[in-house]
Chain A
Amino acid sequence: MNAEARPVVRLAGNSVGALAAMKGVFVRDMKVAFRQRQDLLNPLLFFVMVVTLFPLGVSPEVSFLREAGAGILWVAALLSVLLSLDHLFRHDFDDGTLEQLVLQPQPLFLLILAKTLVHWMLTGLPLVILTPVLGVMMHLDGNSIGILCLTLLIGTPVLSLIGAIGAALTLGLRSAGVLLSLLIIPLYIPVLIFGTGTVAAAAEGATVGAYLALLGAFLVLALTLAPFAAAAALKISLSNG
């Protein structure tokens, strides 16, 4: 008799679909985040402060800021996302929520996708919303600010998704924060290059549709691959704990 053909005990009558489970994860993470509203501001403050360092540390001249502004904002956003990544799984790991997440019957990569979506909505998205203000302070013109926001809007989810892999790999390790940066920064370079490059190309009057499409392709690639890698990494990290 074929073992796989045997009837399997199925008692959990109403099986929960992946979408409902993702919604459950999303709602819980959002609730937890909003119970600690102060923490939501930290990456934003960090973003603003890093940007402030450049006029102070390099030059407040309009010509410099206009040329370097987009790059500075991109680097600051990247660092800010990086800083917040450490928390993506850490609290869940410490209190055991992560174990229960892995043991949910739905595919783990989808649940991770839901968690990453929360992370992006609470860090990446606010950065994009804040960017016009800082763009004006960096003397960027309106067109550049628009393009910059667009590249950040497409680029920051990629940062969150790739970052999830790093956060999962370094879970439960000593000095996880520094290690996370070491692992992830090289992988962020293409996004940074195309993010800032698009703004630079726009400033030179080139059409940016193709560049934005390429950034979009990065996003699609990250959406399809990163959750799988992060799921595999999470299982490994949990197995170690």
Chain B
Amino acid sequence: MWQFFHKLGSPKWFFGISTRFMPWLLAGGVILLMAGVVWGLAFAPEDYLQGNSYRIIFIHVPTAFMAQSVYIMMASAALVTLVWRMKLADVFVKAVAPVGLVLTFLALFTGAVWGKPTWGTWWIWDARLTSMLILMFLYGGVIALDRAINDEKSAARAVAVLVLVGVVNIPIIKYSVEWWNTLHQPATFKLTEKPSMPAEMWVPLLLSVLGLYLIFGWLACVRMQTEILSREQRTRWVREFVMKGRV
């Protein structure tokens, strides 16, 4: 068991195994996402309240959902970094932080685009948009700290501490932003209070979330492989890989 765990942390082993998985992740992800988005955009019924503009949820919700779950994944990896010092966990955190930032930005952007027809304005200090914005700050901080520390081991461990401090704060931030929101403005339009979604709506939504998950997995693998190559550039296996093109 322990040996397996150790192997799991070996960058070389990961490099080999991930190369095999990646085409499947990408293919599966693209198919699911396409299916979900096309279904959602073209075939799902119109919303009785918002008309067609609601259809952006088929992009907005998956990105927003992913943006949050990527942070949770990062926090789990950060814990592994601090407790077991597994190299692969460091690589994961470093590789996916920018992806999380981009996802958060996309969620905010699509939220703003959605807000224009719904609320009549691009930005509104809505509880969820605001906590998304703060999540983007957290991602930004993680990336900035990682860039600022030269030594990669120290960087990985410092970032891990920051990510864990962040993950303790996320629920507190979410809760306090919601409270702040109710304090400052009467409840406006709320999606969660709508009657339950018909299956024609949530099935494509689920498909796009799953698709985005797989694509994220693929992207994480690509970025981790790049990071591994740069970190292990002096080792024999990387040299052989560069010469022969395979592990």
Which residues on A are within 8 Å of B, measured CB to CB? 162, 165, 169-170, 173-175, 179, 182-183, 185-187, 189-190, 193-194, 197, 200-201, 218, 225, 229, 232-233, 236-237, 239-240
Once the chains bind, are A232 and B148 in contact (CB under 8 Å)?
A: no
Chain A interface, DSSP helix/strand/loop, else mixed: helix
Cβ of A214 to closest chain B Cβ, rounded Å: 9
Q: Which residues of A contact B162 (CB under 8 A)?
A: 165, 169, 183
Chain A proximity mask over B149-191: 1 for CB below 8 Å, otherwise 0: 1110010011001101110110011011101100100000000
26 interchain pairs, CB-CB under 8 A: A165-B165, A169-B145, A169-B161, A170-B148, A173-B148, A173-B149, A175-B148, A182-B137, A182-B140, A182-B141, A185-B137, A186-B134, A187-B165, A187-B166, A189-B176, A190-B169, A190-B176, A193-B176, A197-B180, A218-B172, A229-B161, A236-B158, A236-B161, A239-B154, A240-B149, A240-B158
User: Whole-angstrom distance between the alpha carbons of A175 and B150 in the complex?
Assistant: 13
- The answer to whether the Cβ of B144 comes within 8 Å of any Cβ in the partner chain is yes
Q: Which residues of A contact B164 (CB under 8 A)?
A: 229
Contacts A182-B140, A232-B161 known; A174 to B148 CB distance under 8 Å?
A: yes
Q: Which chain B residue has the least Cβ–Cβ distance from A204? A: B183
User: Whole-angstrom distance between the alpha carbons of A33 and B23 in the complex?
Assistant: 61
The 9 closest A-B CB pairs, nearest first, are A240-B154, A190-B176, A186-B137, A183-B141, A193-B176, A193-B180, A236-B157, A173-B148, A190-B172
Once the chains bind, are A189 and B177 in contact (CB under 8 Å)?
A: yes
Contact of A200 among B158, B166, B183 (CB under 8 A): B183
User: Whole-angstrom distance between the alpha carbons of A218 and B171 in the complex?
Assistant: 13
- The answer to whether the Cβ of B138 comes within 8 Å of any Cβ in the partner chain is yes
Cβ of A160 to closest chain B Cβ, rounded Å: 15
Cβ of B83 to closest chain A Cβ, rounded Å: 11
Q: A173-B149, A237-B158 are in contact. List 4 more A-B contacts (CB 8 A).
A: A162-B165, A165-B161, A170-B145, A189-B173
Once the chains bind, are A179 and B144 in contact (CB under 8 Å)?
A: yes
Contact of B151 among A169, A233, A240 (CB under 8 A): A240
Cβ of B159 to closest chain A Cβ, rounded Å: 9
Q: Which residues of B contact A218 (CB under 8 A)?
A: 172
Q: Which chain A residue has the least Cβ–Cβ distance from B168? A: A225
Once the chains bind, are A194 and B166 in contact (CB under 8 Å)?
A: no
Which residues 122-149 of B have a CB within 8 angstroms of A?
Answer: 134, 137-138, 140-141, 144-145, 148-149
Q: Which residues of B contact A170 (CB under 8 A)?
A: 145, 148
Q: Which chain A residue has the least Cβ–Cβ distance from B175? A: A190
Q: Which residues of A contact B173 (CB under 8 A)?
A: 186, 189-190
Contact of B144 among A162, A183, A197 (CB under 8 A): A183
Q: Which residues of B contact A179 (CB under 8 A)?
A: 144-145, 148
- The answer to whether the Cβ of B26 comes within 8 Å of any Cβ in the partner chain is no
Once the chains bind, are B179 and A197 in contact (CB under 8 Å)?
A: yes
| Residue from the set A170, A175, A185 with the largest chain B CB neighbour count within 10 Å | A170
Q: Which chain B residue has the least Cβ–Cβ distance from A190? A: B176
User: Whole-angstrom distance between the alpha carbons of A194 and B172 in the complex?
Assistant: 11
Q: Which residues of B contact A173 (CB under 8 A)?
A: 148-149
Q: Which residues of A contact B179 (CB under 8 A)?
A: 193-194, 197
Cβ of B89 to closest chain A Cβ, rounded Å: 15
Q: Which residues of B contact A190 (CB under 8 A)?
A: 169, 172-173, 175-176
Q: Which residues of B contact A189 (CB under 8 A)?
A: 134, 173, 176-177
Once the chains bind, are B145 and A183 in contact (CB under 8 Å)?
A: yes
